[in-house]
Structure 1
Amino acid sequence: MNWLPLLSAVLLYQGGAPTTPVDVGNRAQLFIDRRLVHQAPGVSFTLHPAKKHPANPLIRSGPDAASRVYLCGSVLYDEDENLFKMWYLGCNGELYATSRDGLRWENSKTCWTGFMFAAVWKDRDDPDPARRYKVIAWGPNAKGAKNTGYDPPIDTGYNTYVSPDGLQVTVHSREPICPHGDVIGGYYDRRLRLYVAFPKIMTQAMGFNRRCFYVTTSKDFDSWNPPQPAFVPDERDDAGSLARIEEARPILDVPDVAAYRRTEFYGVGVYQAESCTVAFPWLFTINGARRPGPQEGPGEVQLAVSCDLERWERPFRSPAIPRGKPGEWDCGFFETAAEAFRVGDEIRLYYSCTNHGHGHEKRAGGPAPDHVYGVGLATWQLDRFVSADAPAGGGVLATVPLVFDGRRLEFNARTRPGGKIRVTLCDLAGSPLAGWPTSEDVCGDSLRHTVVFGGRGDLETLARKPLTLRIELVDAELFSFAFR
């Protein structure tokens, strides 16, 4: 397929008619996504970075090429087998390991050679057991374009595969699903009912040919839409480059070259929240390059959000996974699993990192003996990525018009001593609804506070009727709300 016309015509979003009131159904609405916020005087929005597991790194390797590991792959929990499964990248191919608790990994083995950056998930709904697992990967020596970066040149491409067990794979795509090749992520979006891939496609942006990530989707895993830009560096990214370089300065071994200094994207992971898709773009900040050899610089994982996979917001440009101190195993270059997932009331994102920058592997004499490669675990409490906060002096958050399903209103919130949250149900003009007093105070720390109005918690009579919420916060953090 000739992809050039598809990539040269970058289209603006052509969605349907604007929707108001917004139908929130019975899904949790996270404040990483601010489309429901109409006004918020006195309220600020705060990013909550992940907590790193104290046993990290869960998998650790040294500098020798044969043992290096990178989590450019997938981790999932198989409910049918009560087993965590990991596909990750080693220098000899794609590796596979299992764990009963997601912390102690065993039975590591090479499952595929000739595959890289494989995104894997289990499809319980496919009636064909031979297609139980779906895989999207960059396959050297697979169908695709000739890559002259190898000697001899090889065919490479982004292709799809199916498998009965996640180990034995069969090529599924008849041709590459999109152009170029290298890092790719993918998953099945349960909310949108789409197969989704995030391929890396080199793109001209602000004077450089940069690593960028596009999105392509499919309803049937067979026919894929033309890829559209999702993560392309902007001026805010480049403006923050030097600050990120300085933070990682002790581990960089190439002098800065101002003409090279810039930001690119190296990969994308996701988490499927109830009402939106939370993404974890991997940033690569380039400070210079070794000649011959790769570009040098640190990595970083940030947050992004979208409700439709077409329009992406990145309200914060700071780490979602804290960088380790210089010399620690995760102070250098980051990658994540293709998808984070929920275990109980915890969101788990597995990630890999090094204690050096991107270019160290190719330095003269090879990696230093103290170089470490590892896989770790980062977690959040359910939906606690971003909070709407108010100090002791208070603040008010008013929503846009909403319609909902369900019978009660729940807050995922935390208050400090003396703090409180209360809400008033209002009409579309912001006036209180007749017969509904302001709620009783919500206090304490809970993922599921039930909001009560004058002794009444049942809102069934208001379901599917447009209204707005006026939420008063005093010394409090509100992470999400939902009608259940």
Structure 2
Amino acid sequence: MSERRVLFLDLADVEARQNVVQAVCEAEKHPNNPVLPLGDHHEWDSLQARPWEGRTVLYDEEERLFKCWYAGKDVGVERWWNTGYAISDDGVHWDKPQLGLHEYRGRSDNNICLRGWGPVVKDVEEDDPARRFKMIVKGPPRARMIRAGYSPDGIHWTEEAQIDLPEWDGGAPDIVALIKDEQEADASRRWKMIWQAVLPNNKHGPERVRVKHIAFGSDLERLTASADNPVLHPNDSTEQENHYLMLAPYAGQYVMAYEYGWYVPNGTGRFGMYCADIRLAVSRDGEHFSRVQTHQPLIRRGVRGDWDSGSLVIADKLVEHNDRLY
């Protein structure tokens, strides 16, 4: 018998079936959620601490720590975000170390590690210790320019080459996910990046909606967009909108956990209240994805009154640690 792990997500390995149905097994929520607390009212992340612009949680095998790069914002009316850095022994109890790198309201006793934001990769195969951590950066100080960021420790960052794909038309799109794909045999496709553009909508709601595109490269500075983009479009399914997603090479396939969004027509805002949960898609080649039981959430919203009863956002990476998936 083969020892190959079979996921049964696209059912391509199933020769026949009778009296069985495919169902999505929902993820279990930790009872201590939310585990990353907001800052105090005088701190930079007093309003938001979320995997939105800052996108990554990973487990550092060398240091035996969970590490998080997240987006934070205060209660002011200005539209801005910084990237905060947090660490944890168990993924549940998090510490925000005082880094002393960037000032907020005249003080540097905070955990801000970068004024910009983006997804992070720890590249254990990198020979240059100053480039062990890598990020595709958007935001200040060059707001309209996407660039490569490098760090020896995930805390102290140096920004280098501009990253500019022809498909961006000189713009700076939101970078949704960045991975180094260790199961990819083709070295020219080892690095994978997903970004989002906007295209016309075919449902009620906004005229244009966010659509996901993918690019491949031998490193994060040499990326080429897929000729078959987009990889995820709300027009192809029943959701009205999606923003961010997780991309994970896993068991020879590619698992995508994506934000499935819809508008509730309750008189809030232009189209109603935006709601979202997390649903599942899968691919055999990392480029062409199919949704899995689109009516079944992988991560369900909380019930009314819970802290997560509105819309859910997911970080860009899967964490596999001690036989558990986070």
Within 2, Cα distance between the matches of 1:33 and 1:173? 39
Match of 1:163 among 143, 151, 155: 151
- Whether the 8 Å CA contact 2:136–2:175 is kept in 1: the answer is no
Match of 1:234, SS state, is helix
How much is the aligned-residue C-alpha RMSD, in angstroms? Answer: 2.5
Larger relative contact order (Cα-Cα within 8 Å, sequence gap ≥ 6): 1
- Whether the 8 Å CA contact 1:276–1:307 is kept in 2: the answer is yes
Pairing 1:125–2:125 present:
yes
Match of 2:219, SS state, is coil
One-letter identity of the residue aligned with 2:157: V
Flag the structure with higher strand content.
Answer: 1
Matches within 5 A, 1:203-218: 203-206=199-202, 208-218=207-217
Q: Determine the structure 1 residue equivalent to 2:234.
A: 233
Q: Determine the structure 2 residue equivalent to 1:105.
A: 94
CA deviations on 1:255-313 (whole Å, 9 max, x unpaired) are xxxxxxxx11111112331211111111221346866x897311111111112122101
Q: Determine the structure 2 residue equivalent to 1:87.
A: 69
Matches within 5 A, 1:124-163: 124-142=124-142, 155-163=143-151
Within 1, Cα distance between the matches of 2:191 and 2:258? 19
Within 1, Cα distance between the matches of 2:34 and 2:234? 30
Match of 2:222, SS state, is coil
- Whether the 8 Å CA contact 1:198–1:215 is kept in 2: the answer is yes
What 5-or-longer segments of structure 1 have no aligned partner? 1-23, 143-154, 239-262, 349-484
- Whether the 8 Å CA contact 1:140–1:157 is kept in 2: the answer is no
TM-score of the aligned structures, taking structure 1 as reference length: 0.55
Matches within 5 A, 1:85-484: 85-91=67-73, 92-108=81-97, 109-113=111-115, 115-116=116-117, 118-142=118-142, 155-177=143-165, 179=168, 180-192=172-184, 194-206=190-202, 208-227=207-226, 228-234=229-235, 236-238=237-239, 263-287=240-264, 296-317=273-294, 318-348=296-326
Q: Determine the structure 1 residue equivalent to 2:16.
A: 39
1:50 Cα offset (Å): 0.2
Match of 1:38, SS state, is coil
Q: Report percent identity of matched pairs.
A: 26
Within 2, Cα distance between the matches of 1:286 and 1:158? 31
One-letter identity of the residue aligned with 2:69: W
Within 1, Cα distance between the matches of 2:124 and 2:236? 43
Within 1, Cα distance between the matches of 2:176 and 2:135? 11
Within 1, Cα distance between the matches of 2:122 and 2:30? 26
TM-score of the aligned structures, taking structure 2 as reference length: 0.80
How many residues matched?
Answer: 286
- Whether the 8 Å CA contact 2:176–2:196 is kept in 1: the answer is yes
One-letter identity of the residue aligned with 1:319: P
Within 1, Cα distance between the matches of 2:151 and 2:268? 41
One-letter identity of the residue aligned with 1:229: P
Match of 1:71 among 51, 54, 66: 51
Within 1, Cα distance between the matches of 2:131 and 2:236? 43
What 5-or-longer segments of structure 2 have no aligned partner? 74-80, 98-110
Larger Rg: 1
Within 2, Cα distance between the matches of 1:325 and 1:74? 26
Match of 1:212, SS state, is strand
Match of 1:70, SS state, is strand
